[in-house]
Amino acid sequence: MTGTLSHVRRGRWVLGLTATAQFVLQLDVAIVNVALPTVQHELGFSSAGLQWVVTGYALPFGALLLLGGRLGDMIGHRRALIAGLVVFGLSSLSGGLAVGPGILVASRLAQGAGAALVAPAALALLTDHYTEPRERAHAMGIFQGAVACGALAGILAGGFLTEYAGWRWVLLINPPIIVLLLVFVLWRIPTMHGRRGVGLDLPGALIVTAAIAALMLGVNQGAEHGFGTWKVWMLVSLAAVLVGTLTIIERHASEPMLPPELLRRNRAVILGAALAIGAVLAGYIYFVSLYLQRVLDFSPAQTGLALAPATAMVMLMSTQVSRRVLGLIGTTGQLVIALGLMGIGQGWLAFVDTDGTYLADVLGPILITSAGIGLALPAASLAITSGAAPHQRGIAGALFVASQQTGSAIGLAALATVASAQTAVTGHLVSGYQRAFLVVAVVAIAATVAVAIWARQRRE
């Protein structure tokens, strides 16, 4: 009985600490965006250089995730979590104290590298501890709720901190939280060593990192300068060549960077869904925020408050509703419903108008969209990590997070381009937002249909 209680208590600590770590990582994806104009003015960034305050975090975060997951499998997920938190905390401090553009960008690059160690290690620790399906579903709901809430809360916190405390606090808020996390991780999470014999496929690690980096850089350049430029095509082509090279190398590797059993058709379909979820999550937060501030004249702080109901909905669906629905219709059925809700919510947002209001045009669709996100994230993460061997849980978690981050980067860049092109044709800002929301809706519905067809084929 005592052993059971000890296991339960340890599980609560593991869940609380890993969810908090994931929340902080996602918070930093969005929190800096609101402060960008102030950062540019105070540190003297050029317009081209300013994008690296955002890209500098997103690029290493996405590109190094698979390597970070593999390292966690090798050295132990607890050690990887601690190392990542230390790097993330120190780089947040240096960024908050930056006196010039170079220091801030370097700090954001280091932050992204630290985050790439933390994210897969946190997810692996959770799946290591929660082995019973019902308990794991509940824990995953809370964990993934923290992911979505971190992205939404970043806008709220960024607005208030920039407006009332100064832009530096969007970064300086991290170190005290990280110190507390480290204390409790060292105290409450037991040491778990990496699996002996698990090696690092160095060529595979370098190639997959370079491929993701080239793709994300290409997409970023496309969003900034248009997708018809030679630089964009060169980067995207390089990414394609590297993926082809990786496929050949992995066939002959004794310890492949991407184990074939993790890339079978069932996980491949879910990874595609994770790409779509990332695109929807990034796109709708970005364009709703722009609509509220540029069309409805909301302040940054008001924008954060306007998105608070969506945060509450994500938490409700992921922590309370998800585990009950999973027990009735399974991960695939829940994912189909979730993607459908996201498509409906985004389709509704496609009707926003210049003379619209928050209550009539925004609140309803963001609640529907966030309900879908709250159901989608736990279902997708469970589907990808379930059945992974203990020594592959880090890389399995990294696959899920990498898919989500890549979807966010590609989706946001493509949607920004679509919105800009539509606005240029019509001369109306809102028409660009309408087109972006419509594209997001189509992506979500297409993912719904794909998962539903795949699920039906599995049953036949």
pLDDT given for residue 78 in this prediction = 92
Tell me which of 35 and 364 has the higher pLDDT: 364
Q: What is the DSSP letter of 293?
A: I
State how far the Cα of 307 lies from the Cα of 330, in Å rounded to an integer. Answer: 29
Beta strands per DSSP E along 66-157: none
Cβ distance 275 to 403 under 8 Å? yes
The Cα diameter of the chain in Å comes to: 69
Q: How far is CA 76 from CA 155, 338, 381, in A?
A: 34, 34, 21
Q: How large is the angle between the packed helices 2-30 and 101-129, nearest 10 degrees?
A: 150
Tell me which of 220 and 5 has the higher pLDDT: 220
**Number of other CB atoms surrounding residue 66 within 10 Å:** 25
pLDDT at 245 over 60: yes
Per-residue pLDDT of 325-340, as tens digits, reads 888 888 889 999 999 9
pLDDT given for residue 47 in this prediction = 63
Q: What is the mean pLDDT of the chain?
A: 84
CATH class of 2-200+255-459: mainly alpha
pLDDT average, residue stretch 125-135: 81
pLDDT given for residue 5 in this prediction = 45
pLDDT at 241 over 80: yes
pLDDT given for residue 263 in this prediction = 67
Task: Tell me the one-letter amino acid at 318.
Answer: S
Q: What percent of the chain has pLDDT over 70?
A: 91
**Number of other CB atoms surrounding residue 251 within 10 Å:** 9
State how far the Cα of 205 lies from the Cα of 445, in Å rounded to an integer. Answer: 34
Per-residue pLDDT of 26-73, as tens digits, reads 888 778 877 777 888 889 887 667 778 877 888 888 888 888 888 888
pLDDT at 346 over 50: yes
Which of 234-248, 249-263, 394-408, 425-439 bottoms out in mean pLDDT, i.e. has the lowest?
249-263
How many Cα neighbours within 13 Å face the side chain of 316?
11
pLDDT given for residue 261 in this prediction = 67
Confidence of residue 1 (pLDDT cuts 50, 70, 90): very low
Tokens of 400: 């899920």
pLDDT given for residue 333 in this prediction = 92
Degrees to nearest 5, angle at CA 54 with 48 and 60: 110
pLDDT given for residue 438 in this prediction = 95
pLDDT at 230 over 50: yes
pLDDT average, residue stretch 344-363: 94
State how far the Cα of 56 lies from the Cα of 50, in Å rounded to an integer. Answer: 10
Only one residue has tokens 């955002």, namely 54
Per-residue pLDDT of 175-189, as tens digits, reads 999 999 999 999 888
Q: How far is CA 265 from CA 90, 199, 238, 262, 268, in A?
A: 40, 25, 26, 9, 5
Confidence of residue 269 (pLDDT cuts 50, 70, 90): confident
How many Cα neighbours within 13 Å face the side chain of 332?
14
Tokens of 320: 């309370």
Q: Radius of gyration of the chain from Cα atoms? A: 21
Highest mean pLDDT among 255-269, 323-337, 341-355: 341-355
pLDDT given for residue 193 in this prediction = 54
Confidence of residue 413 (pLDDT cuts 50, 70, 90): confident
pLDDT given for residue 2 in this prediction = 45
How many Cα neighbours within 13 Å face the side chain of 447?
34
Q: What is the DSSP letter of 291?
A: I
Question: Among candidates 72, 94, 98, which has minimal Cα distance to 84?
Answer: 72
Highest mean pLDDT among 75-84, 259-268, 406-415: 75-84
pLDDT at 3 over 60: no
Degrees to nearest 5, angle at CA 212 with 143 and 115: 35
Task: Tell me the one-letter amino acid at 299.
Answer: S
pLDDT at 423 over 80: yes
State how far the Cα of 261 lies from the Cα of 368, in Å rounded to an integer. Answer: 35
Confidence of residue 109 (pLDDT cuts 50, 70, 90): very high
Tell me which of 95 and 213 has the higher pLDDT: 95
**Per-domain residue ranges of the chain:** 2-200+255-459, 201-254
pLDDT given for residue 158 in this prediction = 78
Cβ distance 88 to 179 under 8 Å? no
Total residue length of the chain: 460
pLDDT at 23 over 70: yes
